[in-house]
Amino acid sequence: MRTNKRVLVTGGAGFIGSHTVDALIERGYRVRVYDNLNPQVHGENAQKPEHLHPGAEFIKGDVRDRESLKKAVQGTDIVIHDAAEVGVGQSMYSIEQYVSSNVYGTAVLWDILVSEKHGVEKVLVASSMSLYGEGKYRCSRHGDFSPRPRPDAQLKEGRWEMLCPVCHASADPVPTDEEKPLECTSVYAQSKKDQEVYSLMIGKAYKIPTVACRYFNCYGPRQSLNNPYTGAAAIFCSAIKNGKPPLIYEDGLQKRDFIHVRDLVRGKLLLLETPSADYGVFNIGTGKPSSILELADTLISLNGKEFRPNVIRKFRSGDIRDCYADIAKIEKLGFVPQMSLRDGLRDLMEWGEKQQSVSKVEIAHQELVSKGLVV
């Protein structure tokens, strides 16, 4: 699809946002980026990053700044709202920061869209797999179920697997579809749920087609190697690059759905350009589960290291056991993930070799310990 429509990408200088900008410009969109260049992601006194496409207009601003954001919205046809604070662990003690940026920032955007003159005809909002809480599971005797979080008593005993609520036998994870009840287990997850709910509610009320994109665990080039609250792949990559074994909570066998950023962006643009997706909620993942230990071992192998991950067998508040995507809904629109985990991690590693990074995971871990958030 070739177009000259004008797109505003909030958070467009960041990891997923900047890849989205590249893909939009490649397809002929005219792109405006609005980003506050968060120091935790971009470094202190950051300027427009070198990786941002030179064909994109850049405005430095915060989504909570109404007047600045209003000017950025003017003259655009589409808004892709990627701006957000990310990270489960940090959200559990930086509560005001996460709620303010993610929820209030989204409220400001929508207040502009319903109160001011504009030409916006579609909105994509970045949602998250985290709002599911635990994924779906299957007991061999009692079938599928959507569990509540594991009890503290179970976790303190180091029994990590999800148990059937009827027979208490270990259950196996199955793909999590968009209809699963939402059970947020962190401030971050709740803030993303609020973003999604407000966006779809207001979009429907004002007849502005809106789509919620539930990102699964995205990784790839440009993911900050200096932010200890970013995704596991980048955190592990930074640790390995600095000669340190990756730190892993629980036993490392918890499963996630890791999707390369270019695959995720292809899914986003498919939803943008498919009218039948309007007002819908869509998982964007690979549909394939991988353990955290597999992720770490693959990165260690690709880096030619011989150490083993540091599996500490402790639980971080807000974490879940297993969740991977059922992608049948977006597959019906034509989405097919292309990048294997190993090839995708090689891409991340090769990019990371050229980047400066400081592994801060121990600092982040001690912060969680000091707040009583590690069991």
Per-residue pLDDT of the chain (375 residues; tens, 9 = 90+): 567 899 999 999 999 999 999 999 999 999 999 999 988 888 777 789 999 999 999 999 999 999 999 999 999 999 999 999 998 889 999 999 999 999 999 999 999 999 999 999 999 999 999 999 999 999 999 999 999 999 999 999 999 999 999 999 999 999 999 999 999 999 999 999 999 999 999 999 999 999 999 999 999 999 988 777 778 999 999 999 889 999 999 999 999 999 999 999 999 999 999 999 999 999 999 999 999 999 999 999 999 998 999 999 999 888 999 999 999 999 999 999 999 999 999 999 999 888 876 777 787 788 888 888 887
How confident is the model at residue 230, as a pLDDT? 79
**53, 25 in Cβ contact below 8 A?**
yes
Give the other-Cβ count within 10 Å of 276's Cβ: 9
For position 361, what pLDDT does the model report?
74
Verify whether residue 206 is a known catalytic residue.
no
- Residue 1 has what pLDDT? 54
pLDDT of residue 44: 73
Nearest to 293 by CA among 252, 250, 244: 252
pLDDT given at position 229: 73
Structure confidence at residue 363 (pLDDT): 79
How confident is the model at residue 294, as a pLDDT?
97
CA 230/CA 291 separation, integer angstroms? 17
**Looking at residue 60, what is its pLDDT?**
97
Give the H/E segment covering residue 181: none
For the stretch 281-330, pLDDT in tens is 999 999 999 999 999 999 999 999 989 999 999 998 889 999 999 999 99
Amino acid 182: pLDDT: 96
| pTM score of the predicted model | 0.95
Question: Distance between the two ends of the chain, CA-based, in angstroms?
Answer: 50
Which is the CATH superfamily of the domain at 6-370? NAD(P)-binding Rossmann-like Domain (3.40.50.720)
Q: Which residue has the tokens 């770490």?
A: 296
Contact 195, 102 (CB under 8 A): yes
Report the pLDDT value the prediction gives residue 2, as an integer from 0 to 100.
61
Candidate list 29, 34, 98, 188, residue with the active-site label: 188
Buried b (16+ CB within 10 A) or exposed e, 22-49: bbbbeeebbbbbbbbbbebbbeeeeebb
